[in-house]
Chains A and B, each alone.
Chain A
Amino acid sequence: MGLSWMAWTWPTAAFFIFIALCLVAMAIWEWRQPGGAPRRGVLGLDTTRGDRLFITLLGSAFIFLGWLGFLGTPLWGALVISLAYGFVVFRWV
């Protein structure tokens, strides 16, 4: 059975490879430093590393959608904001 019905493109494949690599990196991080590094961040939420990745990915999706809805393409600005947002989440949330 081929995968042509899934209509793969290189950009979407790269996107899923990035997500998969994030998960692999998180697994390695957990293996090196077990316990998930739970803490209470600036929002008063108890988060582990996995929670912080989830908040980063979900927030980034909305940053991209917001950029696209209000400013349109190109999306480099949204990428920069998402990276900064991810850093803030992993550092302080």
Chain B
Amino acid sequence: MNNKTAYPKAWLFVLPVVALVAFNALIPLMTVVNYSVQETFGNNVFFFEGVKWFEEVLNSERFHASLLRQLAFTGIILAIEIPLGVAIALTMPARGIWASVCLVLMALPLLIPWNVVGAMWNIFALPEIGLLGQMINGMGIDYNFTQQPMAAWFTTILMDVWHWTSLVVLLAYAGLRSIPDAYYQAAKIDGASGWAVFRYIQLPKMKRVLTIAVLLRFMDSFMIYTEPFVLTGGGPGNATTFLSIDLVKIALGQFDLGPAAAMSLIYFLIVLLLSWVFYTLMMRDEEQ
């Protein structure tokens, strides 16, 4: 049973973390809550507005459109990156020099700063000078991500897949390497097919790391800002204006701090809810 020794002073060791979280998360969050019920025109002068901004945001077509775009983007990249990451991890060598080479190559996109990734893909995909843009147009497909919404979406998704699939690969690979050889030997004796090994040994053993991969990719993609901002600036029109880009436009472009604060709280609650649902669903079977 519980044989841990009670040591009340241990709580003191938690204090620095509590102070840090208070300064970088709680106090700013409290300030956002305060802003969300007020109107300001600067100079630290505020007028109480109640829940007006929340009502306005919840009934705003602009917010609905960015939320739908955000959900579509996150859904698409999760549907691509998770299976692709697992598939690549399965094909990587288990040991030897090639394992190290693959790991370094996989880690490279993760080391590039987000704004550089956006700038790289912007130039890479430009129809006039970019290699990708020239190649697609050379194949007879009319492609210009600065003018066509579908092309802008295609480029944004491709960029995200290029940048972040590696993270899923590295996590899945770590999960695969933690499976003892005895499992594979037992499967071999039983004459299990490749699919059966994947379905009943590898996939269940990767569950924990895949949960982390899904959560990380979900939260990151749901809050994506820098890469699409540098690549498309939210355009053409509003085609790639995701929630965070819209939020920055409202807060800093229009200086509507009240509506922006209300929107960011709704945004935060959606991220919190979806993360909780993902986590609970993925951990549920394991607990049972």
A9–B48 touching, CB < 8 Å: yes
Q: How far apart are the CA atoms of A71 and B44 in the complex, in Å?
A: 32
B31 at the interface (CB under 8 A from A): yes
- Among B30, B34, B44, B280, max chain A CB count under 10 A is at B34
Minimum C-beta distance from B281 to chain A (A): 10
Q: How far apart are the CA atoms of A8 and B34 in the complex, in Å?
A: 6
A73–B31 touching, CB < 8 Å: no
B38–A72 touching, CB < 8 Å: no
B167 at the interface (CB under 8 A from A): no
Closest B residue by C-beta to A55: B276
Closest A residue by C-beta to B45: A7
B273–A15 touching, CB < 8 Å: no
A12 at the interface (CB under 8 A from B): yes
Number of interface residues of B (CB under 8 A): 27
A45–B37 touching, CB < 8 Å: no
A58–B51 touching, CB < 8 Å: no
Number of interface residues of A (CB under 8 A): 23
Per-position binary interface string of chain A over residues 49-72, scored 1 when its CB falls under 8 Å from any chain B CB and 0 otherwise: 000001000100110010011001
Among A4, A9, A61, A73, which residue has its beta carbon within 8 angstroms of that of B37? A9
Which residues of A are found within 8 Å of B276, using beta-carbon distances? Answer: 54, 58
Which residues of A are found within 8 Å of B35, using beta-carbon distances? Answer: 7
A9–B34 touching, CB < 8 Å: yes
B40–A7 touching, CB < 8 Å: yes
A65–B273 touching, CB < 8 Å: no
B46 at the interface (CB under 8 A from A): yes
Which residues of B are found within 8 Å of A7, using beta-carbon distances? Answer: 31, 34-35, 38, 40, 44, 46
* Chain A, interface SS category: helix
B266–A65 touching, CB < 8 Å: yes
Which residues of B are found within 8 Å of A69, using beta-carbon distances? Answer: 55, 58-59
Among B34, B58, B273, which residue has its beta carbon within 8 angstroms of that of A12? B34
Among B30, B46, B58, which residue has its beta carbon within 8 angstroms of that of A65? B58
A62–B27 touching, CB < 8 Å: no
Within 8 A of B (CB), among A67-93: 68-69, 72-73, 75
Q: How far apart are the CA atoms of A68 and B60 in the complex, in Å?
A: 13
Closest A residue by C-beta to B266: A65
A73–B273 touching, CB < 8 Å: no
Q: How far apart are the CA atoms of A75 and B52 in the complex, in Å?
A: 12
- In the A-B complex, list the 8 residue pairs whose CB atoms are closest, starting with the nearest: A69-B58, A7-B34, A6-B31, A7-B46, A12-B34, A46-B287, A12-B33, A61-B269
- The contact sample of 14 A-B pairs, CB cut-off 8 A, is A4-B44, A7-B31, A7-B38, A8-B34, A9-B34, A11-B50, A12-B34, A45-B284, A58-B269, A58-B272, A58-B273, A58-B276, A62-B269, A65-B269
Known: A6-B31, A12-B37, A68-B55. 12 other contacts (CB 8 A): A7-B40, A8-B34, A9-B37, A45-B280, A54-B276, A58-B269, A62-B269, A65-B54, A68-B51, A68-B54, A69-B58, A69-B59
